[in-house]
Amino acid sequence: MLTAGQILQLIRNGTCRTRKELIEHTGLSRSTITDRVDRLIDAGYIHESGVGASGGGRPPSVLDVDAGRRLMLVADLGAIHARVALTDLAARPLAEESAGLRIDLGPEAVLSWVRECFQRLLDRAGRLPGEVCGIGIDLPGSVDHVSGRVIRSFLMPGWDDFPVGEAVGAGYDVPILVENDANAMALGEWWTSWRGSDALLLVKVSTGIGTGIVLDGQIYRGVEEAAGNIGHVRIRESDDRVCTCGSRGCVASLASGRALAADLGQESSLDVVRLVQTGDPAAIARTQEAGRTLGVVLATAVSLLNPAALVLAGDMAETREHYLTGIREVVYRRSLPYTTRNLEIVTSSLGGRAGIAGMAVIVMEHVLSAAAVDAALRPKPAG
């Protein structure tokens, strides 16, 4: 017998839109379907949004997810930037705020800012903390998405093993989800533009380099939550430059925004982007070279995964064709023609919002999953 949470999935994916369709599709009795649907309505998961076509008699009420009754809070943290958003339960933004914020200030300072922003967004929208049903935050490092702790990050001193989920969710009795930033961005891009594709590879090039992989609509994290760590693949063993991980010759030490900034005498990857956008010849040449360097590793990734899309995101995506040209040149030259025949190598369609969009989808999918809904509807023990 299907649970209320499983009934919700049939409504969410469009399989059934009315009580009558639910009865016919599941074979459950009218009273059972009425019980399941009424519980979902009372809990704010669905509502009656209109009337369907009538086969004679009174037109049936159409059931749909009640996206406006519950809220989600999400944050996207990079090495030198932060963005937070308040969304509805369909992952649509209601309010957003962004700022320059260095992740190396440490977890207490950064997460305190995130919590203050969350409250400001609720106040701006005229909503209450009690309406929030889930919180999500992504970070530029490997995270244990089950415990909500940072496993390791070379860009985040002081964050290792910090209980991010507990800290950011203080005062909220809701699920707190923690994710790697490139993973969140990859899911955001897939959800927005590539849902018809089985595989997507997103490479974020900003201060560092990270990769997110989406296979069959799911983030692929790897056994140690370290999938996509291509920034620390060593391709020049004799190179003098020391990477943030302590090794020499890593892709990140040669092709990241930080590496380009150092070579061009700039402070950050954003400064490199500004130089490229103003037509600086040295910046353009160095950016294209970095794209070719990264393309060497991405050619292997493309051969392994055979994705439909390779998406360039992060600060260096703002150089548009310049970094992308280097990637394309090497990936197409080093990969077998049939693995790239239908491959699209593009820049992010969401830009700086990719992480926020992805985290909102991650929280939404968790909160509306059959297991989470059934757990929420389960009677609380007395006392």
Confidence of residue 229 (pLDDT cuts 50, 70, 90): confident
Q: If you average pLDDT over residues 89-104, what whole number do you get?
A: 95
- Fold of the domain built from segment(s) 4-65: Arc Repressor Mutant, subunit A (1.10.10)
For residues 73-101, average pLDDT? 95
Instruction: Return the closest-CA partner of residue 249 out of 262, 265, 260, 234.
Output: 234
Q: Tens of pLDDT along 34-45?
A: 999 999 999 999
Q: What is the residue type of 187?
A: L
Domain with CATH 3.30.420.40 in the chain: 71-183+355-377, 194-349
What pLDDT does 126 receive? 96
Percent of the chain at pLDDT exceeding 90: 80
d(CA 343, CA 307): 7
Is residue 55 over pLDDT 60?
no
| pLDDT confidence of residue 326 | 95
3-class SS string, the chain = CCCHHHHHHHHHCCCCCCHHHHHHHHCCCHHHHHHHHHHHHHCCCEEEEEECCCCCCCCCEEEEECCCCCEEEEEEECCCEEEEEEEECCCCEEEEEEEECCHHHCHHHHHHHHHHHHHHHHHHHCCCHHHEEEEEEEECCEEECCCCEEEECCCCCCCCCCEHHHHHCCCCCCCEEEEEHHHHHHHHHHHHHCCCCCEEEEEEECCCEEEEEEECCEECCCCCCCCCCHHHCECCCCCCCECCCCCECEHHHHHCHHHHHHHCCCCCHHHHHHHHHCCCHHHHHHHHHHHHHHHHHHHHHHHHHCCCEEEEECHHHHHCHHHHHHHHHHHHHHCCHHHHCCCEEEECCCHHHHHHHHHHHHHHHHHCCHHHHHHHHCCCCCC
Read off the pLDDT of each residue in 255-265 and give the average, rounded to a whole number: 95
Q: ∠ CA(101), CA(124), CA(372), 5° rounding?
A: 80
CB neighbours of residue 303 within 10 Å: 14
pLDDT value, residue 382: 64
Contact assessment for residue 184 and residue 358, using Cβ atoms and an 8 Å cutoff: yes
Sign of CA pseudo-dihedral 122, 94, 73, 318: negative
Q: Give the tens place of pLDDT for each residue, 159-216.
A: 999 999 999 988 899 999 999 999 999 999 999 999 999 999 999 999 999 999 999 9
- Paired tokens of 257: 């925004």
Ramachandran bin of 306, using left for φ above 0, alpha for ψ from -120 to 50, beta for the remaining angles: left
pLDDT of 53 strictly over 70: no
Q: Where in the chain is the domain with CATH 1.10.10.10?
A: 4-65
Position with higher pLDDT, 370 vs 142: 370
Looking at residue 379, its pLDDT comes to 84
Confidence of residue 380 (pLDDT cuts 50, 70, 90): confident
User: What's the pLDDT score for residue 153?
Assistant: 77
Return the residue matching tokens 């929280």: 363
Predicted pLDDT at 59:
73
Residue 238 has pLDDT above 90, yes or no: no
**pLDDT tens digits for 289-331?**
999 999 999 999 999 999 999 999 999 999 989 999 999 999 9
Of the pLDDT bands very low, low, confident and very high (cuts 50, 70, 90), residue 52 is low
Topology (CATH) of 71-183+355-377: Nucleotidyltransferase; domain 5 (3.30.420)
Averaged confidence pLDDT in the chain: 92
pLDDT at 57 over 70: no
The 10s digit of each residue's pLDDT in 107-162 is 999 999 999 999 999 999 999 999 999 999 999 988 998 898 988 777 888 999 99
Question: Averaged over 37-63, what is the pLDDT?
Answer: 81
Chain-centre distance of CA 202, in angstroms?
Answer: 11
In this predicted structure, the answer to whether residue 58 has a pLDDT above a threshold of 90 is no
Residue 56 pLDDT > 60 = no
Report pLDDT digits (tens) over 333-369.
Answer: 999 899 999 999 999 999 999 999 999 999 999 999 9
Confidence at residue 373, expressed as pLDDT on a 0 to 100 scale:
97
Instruction: Specify the CATH class of 194-349 in words.
Output: alpha beta
CA distances from 110 to 80, 113, 145, 158, 168 (A): 11, 5, 19, 12, 10
Position with higher pLDDT, 60 vs 173: 173
Q: Of 66, 70, 55, which Cα lies nearest the Cα of 131?
A: 70
Residue 383 has pLDDT above 70, yes or no: no
